[in-house]
A and B are shown apart, each in its own frame.
Chain A
Amino acid sequence: MKHLPSGGHKPLFMLLLALWVAVPVRAQSSSQSASDSSFLSTLGELREASYSDKAGIVERLSQSGHPSIRAVLVAFLEDRLYFRNDDQKIFIVKSAEGDPLTLIDPLSLKDAGSAPADSLTKIGTNNGLRRTLRTTVAHFALASPDAAVRLAAVQDMLRSLDDATVALLRDRMGVETNSRVKKEIATGLALAALDDSDTNARLNAIATLKSSVSQDVRNKLAVLIEKSPDGSFTEHDETVRRAATNAVETIDRWRTFYSDIETLFFGLSLGSVLVLIAIGLAITFGVMGVINMAHGELMMLGAYTTFAVQSAMPGHIGISILVAIPAAFIVSGLTGVLMERTIIRFLYGRPLETLLATFGVSLVLQQTVRSIFSALNRSVVTPEWMSGSLRLNDALAITYNRLYIVIFTIIVFSLILMVLKRTRIGLDIRAVSQNRAMAKAMGIRTEWVDAATFGLGSGIAGVAGVALSQLTNVGPNLGQSYIIDSFMVVVFGGVGNLWGSLIGGLSMGVVNELLEPFAGAVLAKIFVLVALILFIQIRPRGLFPQAGRAGEDK
Chain B
Amino acid sequence: MLGLWHGNAGAGLHKDRGGSSFLAVLVLVAIAVPVLNQVVPASSALHISPFGITLIGKYLCYGMLALAVDLIWGYCGILSLGHAAFFSLGGYAMGMYLMRQIGPRGVYGDPILPDFMVFLNYKSLPWFWYGLNHFAIALTMVVLAPALLAAVFGWFAFRSRVTGVYFSIITQALTYALMLAFFRNDMGFGGNNGFTDFKDILSFDLHSDKTRVVLLVITAAALAVSYMACRAIVDSRAGRVMRAIRDAESRTRFIGYPVESFKLWVFVFSAVIAGIAGALYVPQIGIINPSEFDPINSIEAVIWVAVGGRGTLYGAILGAVLVNYAKTYLTGAFPEVWLYALGALFVFVTLFLPRGIIGLVKAHEQERGKDQ
Contact = CB atoms under 8 A, between A and B. Distances in A.
Given A346-B351, A536-B166, A553-B250, A360 B345 contact: yes
B342 interface: yes
B344 to A, nearest CB: 7
A487 interface: yes
Given A367-B343, A553-B250, A540 B161 contact: yes
Contacts of B166: 491, 495, 536, 540-542
B173 interface: yes
Interface residues of B, number: 48
Given A532-B170, A536-B170, A541-B166, A360 B181 contact: no
B181 A526 contact: yes
Given A363-B346, A554-B164, 12 more contacts: A285-B165, A343-B347, A351-B165, A352-B168, A360-B345, A360-B346, A360-B348, A361-B347, A495-B166, A522-B180, A526-B180, A553-B163
Contact of B299 (A293, A361, A525): A293
B157 A537 contact: yes
Contacts of B169: 487-488, 491
A361 B349 CA distance: 12
Contact of A363 (B164, B170, B339, B349): B339
B107 to A, nearest CB: 27
B267 interface: no
Contacts, number: 127
Interface string A349-372: 001110111011111101100010
Contacts of A357: 346-347, 350-351
A540 B303 CA distance: 26
Interface in B50-73: none
B163 to A, nearest CB: 7
Contacts of A355: 168, 299, 302
Contacts of B345: 360
Contacts of B306: 353, 356
A399 to B, nearest CB: 26
A487 B160 CA distance: 20
Contacts of A293: 299
A540 B160 contact: yes
B148 interface: no
A538 B303 CA distance: 30
A302 to B, nearest CB: 20
Interface string A511-539: 00000000000110110011011101110
Contacts of B354: 353
A352 B170 contact: no
A347 interface: yes
Contact of B174 (A360, A366, A487, A533): A533
Contacts of A361: 343, 347
A495 B165 contact: yes
A522 B96 CA distance: 23
A-B pairs, top 5 by smallest CB distance, nearest first, are A360-B346, A363-B343, A364-B343, A367-B339, A529-B177
Interface residues of A, number: 45
B299 A529 contact: no
B79 interface: yes
B340 interface: yes
Interface string B316-331: 0000000000000000
A221 B164 CA distance: 61
Contact of B350 (A360, A523, A533, A553): A360
A414 B348 CA distance: 38
Interface string A477-506: 000100010011001000100000000000
A532 B296 CA distance: 20
A356 B177 contact: no
27 contacts: A291-B168, A293-B299, A347-B351, A352-B79, A353-B350, A356-B302, A356-B306, A356-B350, A362-B343, A363-B342, A364-B343, A366-B339, A367-B337, A367-B339, A367-B340, A484-B295, A487-B172, A491-B169, A523-B184, A532-B170, A533-B174, A534-B156, A536-B157, A536-B162, A537-B162, A542-B166, A554-B164
Interface of B: 79, 153, 156-157, 159-166, 168-170, 172-174, 176-177, 180-181, 183-184, 248-250, 295-296, 299, 302-303, 306, 336-337, 339-340, 342-351, 354
Contact of A522 (B184, B343, B349): B184
Contacts of A553: 163-164, 248-250
Contact of A526 (B170, B177, B337, B344): B177
B252 to A, nearest CB: 11
A359 B323 CA distance: 14
Given A359-B346, A522-B184, A554 B165 contact: yes
The binding surface of chain A is classed by DSSP as helix
A211 B192 CA distance: 48
A484 B336 CA distance: 26
A530 B177 CA distance: 7
Nearest to A536: B170
A293 B300 CA distance: 12
Contacts of B168: 291, 352, 355
A105 B313 CA distance: 83
Nearest to B156: A537
B299 A484 contact: no
Given A364-B339, A538-B160, A343 B299 contact: no
Contacts of B303: 356, 359
B160 A360 contact: no
Contacts of A488: 169, 173
B84 to A, nearest CB: 13
Chain A CB count within 10 A is highest, among B161, B165, B176, for B165
B316 to A, nearest CB: 14
Given A529-B176, A554-B165, A360 B343 contact: yes
Contacts of A356: 302-303, 306, 346, 349-350
A522 B299 CA distance: 23
A526 B79 CA distance: 23
Chain B CB count within 10 A is highest, among A360, A484, A491, A541, for A360
Nearest to A554: B164
Contact of A537 (B160, B183, B344): B160
A553 B334 CA distance: 42
B183 A522 contact: yes
A360 B347 contact: yes
A538 B159 CA distance: 10
Contacts of B184: 522-523
Nearest to A346: B351
Contact of A484 (B172, B350, B351): B172
Contacts of A347: 350-351
A554 B164 CA distance: 6
Contacts of B161: 540
A363 B331 CA distance: 14
Contacts of A554: 164-165
Given A484-B172, A522-B184, A532-B173, A364 B165 contact: no
B93 to A, nearest CB: 21
A477 to B, nearest CB: 11
Contacts of A484: 172-173, 176, 295
A529 B302 CA distance: 22
